[in-house]
Amino acid sequence: MNSTEPILVLDGVVAGYGKMTILNGTAAKIRRGAITTVIGPNGAGKSTLFKAIYGLLPVRSGTVTFDGQNTTNFSPRDILDAGIAYVPQGRNIFPELSVRHNLEFGGVALPNQSSLPGRLDTTMRRFPMLNEKANSQASTLSGGQQKMLEVARGLLLDPKLILIDEPSIGLSPLMVQEVFSILKDLRDKGVAILLIEQNAKQALQISDYGLVLEQGQTRIEDTAPRILADPRIAQLFLGGGLVQAAGAP
């Protein structure tokens, strides 16, 4: 288990779309250097939470504090500069460009462009597959490889926290395992990861902590093993047989 010190603190966050309120006072502490998976039913506010954290959706009340700084309603650029990267749901690459050029676009926000070549080399070493295919069109990559490219592009700015929304959508089971393996490796290198994943059980099995959202509020915030072993969560969100699979009595 990684540090118990929070890197991101949400306190009474309220946000929504137009007249519709989705987050109703959400509170949570996201731990430094750990994987935290957010689970809950459709409409619970999981993706809305990410958008509020990243400045894509206004926070109507409450606060978002990142690494000791109040970042409530910062612009996405300022959030990125503060140390948070965001990999949204779906594919977000430039398919006709090479893998290297896709990564270079991730470095546009670097305040010191002279550091880009070194960061590119570091990222390529972290993802050997991308290094091998550096000059290939991104469209030739498999679904799992494209998701790795998105994650690698986010890491180019050396974030302290990365938000990843549904990384396994459209991937084969083998590719899902590969993506999850990369997430664990990033965690082991000190990057905090906040994850939304349709396969909640599988995501919790690689996580340190879990956060259960329901109707825009935090219902449970605990270690991932405890959430996996909780029969209430198993019945409501994670499907049958989970308690036994998690090793609970």
Looking at every residue in the chain, the average pLDDT score rounds to 87
With bands split at pLDDT 50, 70 and 90, how would you rate the model's confidence at 88? confident
How large is the average pLDDT for residues 77-87? 92
pLDDT at 119 (0 to 100): 84
* CA proximity to 106, closest of 94, 90, 91, 89: 94
Separation between Cα atoms, residue 178 and residue 40, nearest integer Å:
24
Q: Give SS3 for 207.
A: coil
Separation between Cα atoms, residue 174 and residue 234, nearest integer Å:
24
With bands split at pLDDT 50, 70 and 90, how would you rate the model's confidence at 241? very low
CA distances from 226 to 37, 160, 198, 208 (A): 13, 26, 19, 10
How large is the average pLDDT for residues 7-17? 97
pLDDT, tens digit (0-9, with 9 covering 90-100), for 30-67 = 999 999 999 988 889 999 999 999 999 999 999 999 99
pLDDT at 99 (0 to 100): 93
pLDDT at 85 (0 to 100): 93
Better pLDDT: 136 or 157: 136
